[in-house]
Amino acid sequence: MLRATSELEFSNEKNTEEISQLASLVLSGDTSTGEKNSTGLPEKTGYPDSVYIMAANIFQGIRFEKSPEKVLIKYGNEPLRSLPESEDESFQRSSYELAFSALKFQDILEAILIDSCIFPSTTIPDHLSSLIIVMLYDFQDRKFQARFLSDNEEPIAEVQEVENLLNSFKIKLAAALARCRIKHDALSIYHILPETVRNQELRASTLPLYAWINTCKISPEEVYYSLKKRGYNKVKSVLHIDDKVFAVDQHCYDVLIFPSHLKNNLLNIDLFKDYKLIFQDKSRSLAVHSVKALLNMDDDILMVNTGSWYTVAHMSILTNNNTSKIFVCGVKSQAKDPDLKNLFTKMGCKNIEILHEAFLNIESKDHRLQKVKVILLLPRCSGLGVSNPVEFILNEHEDTGLLKDFSQGGTSEDKLHILVQQQYEQLTHAMKFTKAQAVVYCTCSVYPEENEGVVKKALEFQDHGIKVQPYRLSPPVLPLCSLKEIHLSTDKFFRMEPSEITNGCFLSVLTRERDPSEAVSVKDVLARAAAKGLLDGIELGKASKREKKKKKSKIPLSKAHTNDSNDIQRKIAEFLNRESNANANRSETLATKTSLPQKNTTTAGSSSHVRKPNKPTSNPLVPTFMKNTAQPRPYERQTNFVRSRPEDRVMALKPVEIVLPPVMLPFSGSQGIKSQIPTQHFYYRWVGPKTVMPNYFPSPSISRRGEKPRENLPSSLLRHPRPWL
């Protein structure tokens, strides 16, 4: 029992006014027992006895210890007895919130107890000191008003004794609190907290709620319709809206956003009771959606340090249509397996397998993990990007010692170094799994040492000795919805800074470099899909009409072109031989003309090489010597014109100059006619047409002095061996 050395006697009527005046000076800014009270009790009317006991045990484990010369209040090492109902989630949340609030104000609460003469004027067992601290915080937060007691609640003796002690000292406690406020020149003890802590709590009070849709149970359209029936309207943004509204997240199509003040109302509707909508921080949804974007149909997943089981369930829901299996490692106690299986069954998850080994103890060649292609790593971190640390601790099953860092607004250098080393070891171990092709690394930290520092170090010192492709940093696989996100992701990291709409998040995707020797053809992909039954009704053995046409067009053109070219060149050579014999009789006539350089046409004609031009392609059946002729040659004429077919390629012709012999008319015996014939011989040349033919490219005509333009001759005249006769 607690025994006070000095008794305070006063009448209730006399001191009611004094208590009210002193209490009016206490303007508590903490709302942890107000709107966030998840026990369903009226606001600021106190907690059940079991919550105080559990909060005292939590505070005992996370409190700040002082040096022996500065210790004024001693804390025992024995935990208080807790009831079985303390395992309830709502009791746990209330207990953690109360313990965390007491931790933030530990120095102030201890000073109030000493200033009010409770310490050391009373004989208090050391193991009750933690209970006194947490109950004093709640007492001042209620402005020293009486606590509401439920008839169905079983009282706990230790709680009743501490409550009676605080009630007997409530005037002195209120006065000590007022003096503390005046000393720090603060409107309330809330304003005595560091600025970082105050900003964090301000964000936590307005941060929207995020909930993902369990598509195994209900479709998004059905969720929208159900919410609309209950008076919830769909909007683009829920910020600064007090009505019943919701919005769809821009990064994750299956995540809905609600205003923070609607949480109690939402928890009472069937969508949340039946696991059709699940509250969870957005950072975890971003992580699982990043993994989903990297998966094939039959790829397995290894999840490390998953924290909340809802993260595992969300990953399972997203891969429900695949043949993927999800391995979850790090579950230490097998006693939780039945509860986890029951939870997953209620949520409709079927592809989850739990591994009880620690991740660092699992070998990379484990036979169970040979099909694992993506590893999701959610390492323990400082979590200072989170606004509500209690939700983070409970949902992610993190160490309660992180609450001490949250209460100070930062992490000590020694502790941060330990966390970074653990993260580096886990990431490098994940990169040793030879079958894995990608690693997704996600934290809720704002420290670069835990984020890009760990990733860059792991990439720099990765083991290149194993016979696999090394990892490289890949761009985010999530959509970037604003200029700020694009700016923050310029170095291929996805970042979200803590703000009024979301917690902080860091996400990195590491993928193996592509092995050029393992290139997969289209036929291999179709064969694999057909083997899995994904191409039912589609025959892969029969070639399409287009493929048949391609095969016909792929007949060895070189042989065909060579044979055709040989025949043409042989005919050309014969024709030139005949012409050379006929031209020998006219050597005197040709002497009057300027000699022109000639090449060996037989050699040119016998060549079977077909040149591939870089410009518009020509018909391969056209003789080679005709294409390469640059100077006019006597007695040459265009022969064997090949008219191009509509489907053939368009050919550009070059102008060819043909020199004809002098005109010899058979009227030598008539003097009258002779007088009309000039003595000068005329040489006529046929020049390529200036007009553009329908099937040919335009070519520049050759204009020389002394040439007489003529119209195009018919093809029959050109083919005649001696057209002037």
pLDDT band at 333 (very low <50, low <70, confident <90, very high): confident
Q: For residue 681, is it within any domain? A: no
Is residue 45 over pLDDT 90? no
CATH number, domain of 303, equals 3.40.50.150
**In the chain, % of residues over pLDDT 90:** 41
> Considering the domain boundaries, does residue 125 fall inside one?
yes
Q: What is the pLDDT of residue 17?
A: 52
Measured in degrees and rounded to the nearest 5, phi and psi for residue 422 equal -65, -40
Please tell me the predicted confidence (pLDDT) of residue 606: 40
Question: How many other CB atoms are found less than 10 A from the CB of residue 546?
Answer: 8
Residue 348 burial (10 A CB sphere; 0-12, 13-18, 19+): middle
- Residue range 133-169, pLDDT digits in tens: 999 999 999 999 989 887 788 889 999 999 999 999 9
pLDDT in tens, 77-88: 888 887 665 567
163 shares its domain with 306? no
Contact status, residue 208 vs residue 238, Cβ threshold 8 Å = yes
Query: For 456, phi and psi rounded to 5 degrees?
Result: -65, -40
Identify the domain boundary among 174, 193, 212: 193
For residue 564, what pLDDT is reported? 55
d(CA 625, CA 605): 6
The two beta strands, 300-304 and 326-329, are: parallel
Position 628 pLDDT exceeds 70: no
Number of domains in the chain: 2
Residue after which a domain boundary falls, among 144, 167, 193: 193
Among 163, 193, 223, identify where a domain stops. 193
pLDDT at position 629, please? Answer: 41
> Token pair of 545, please?
């009409």
Whole-number Å distance between alpha carbons of 45 and 31: 12
Q: What is the pLDDT of residues 517-549, one digit of tens each?
A: 656 667 777 777 776 666 666 655 555 555 555
Residues 336 and 477 in one domain: yes
Give CA angle at 68 (64, 72), nearest 5°. 70
The pLDDT of residue 68 is above 90: no
The mean pLDDT of 609-632, rounded to a whole number, is: 42
Residue 592 pLDDT grade (very low, low, confident, very high; cuts 50, 70, 90):
very low
Shared-domain flag, residues 188 and 56: yes
pLDDT in tens, 642-686: 454 544 455 666 666 666 665 555 444 444 444 444 444 444 455
Report whether pLDDT(555) > 60: no
Domain identity same for 187 and 334: no
The reported pLDDT for the residue numbered 588 is: 47
Q: Percent of the chain, pLDDT > 70?
A: 65
Is the pLDDT at 566 greater than 50, yes or no?
A: yes
Q: Please name the amino acid found at residue 588.
A: E
**pLDDT digit string (tens) for 376-421?**
999 999 988 898 899 888 888 777 888 988 888 888 899 999 999 9
Residues 289 and 406 in one domain: yes
Give exposure, 508-535, as e/b (b: 16+ Cβ within 10 Å).
Answer: bbbbbeeeeeeeeeeeeeeeeeeeeeee
Average predicted confidence (pLDDT) for the chain? 76
Query: Is residue 566, in this structure, part of any structural domain at all?
Result: no
Is the pLDDT higher at 426 or at 707? Answer: 426
Q: Does residue 344 sit in the same domain as residue 466?
A: yes
Instruction: Name the phi and psi angles at 297, rounded to 5.
Output: -65, -35
pLDDT category at 591 given cuts 50, 70, 90 is very low
Residue 586 confidence class, pLDDT cut points 50, 70, 90: low
Give dist(CA 320, CA 15) in Å, integer: 66
562 domain residue, yes or no: no
What pLDDT score does 144 carry?
92
Q: What is the pLDDT of residues 177-201, one digit of tens each?
A: 999 999 999 988 889 988 888 888 8
Is residue 209 pLDDT above 80, yes or no? yes
Closest CA to 351 of 308, 397, 297, 396: 297
Full domain range(s) for residue 155: 49-193
Give the pLDDT score at 306. 84
Contact 103, 134 (CB under 8 A): no
Quote the CA–CA distance of 509 and 62 in Å, as a whole number.
35
C-alpha of 612 from chain center: 48
* Position 605 in a domain: no
For residue 690, pLDDT over 90 is answered with: no
Identify the pLDDT of residue 240.
Answer: 82
Identify whether 218 is part of a domain: no
Half-sphere exposure of 483 (CA within 13 A, CB side): 0
pLDDT digits (tens, 9 = 90+) for 474-522: 999 998 888 888 888 889 999 999 998 999 999 999 999 876 665 666 7
Same domain membership, residue 426 and residue 327: yes
Helix (H) or strand (E) holding 213: strand 209-213
Which whole number is the average pLDDT over 262-279? 94
Rounded Cα–Cα distance for residues 63 and 404 (Å): 7
Q: Exactly one of 349, 444, 481, 505 is catalytic; name it.
A: 444
251, part of any domain: no
First CA to last CA across the chain, in angstroms? 146
**Co-location of 177 and 296 in the same domain:** no
444 is catalytic: yes
Within 585-639, residue ranges assigned H as helices are 587-591, 601-606, 624-628
Across the range 715-719, mean pLDDT stands at 45
- φ, ψ at 374 (rounded to 5°): -130, 135
The Cα 61–Cα 71 span in angstroms is 17
Q: Is residue 563 part of a domain?
A: no
Residues 308 and 187 placed together within one structural domain of the fold: no
Q: Is the dihedral of CA 276, 279, 280, 281 positive or negative?
A: positive
**pLDDT for residue 384:** 85
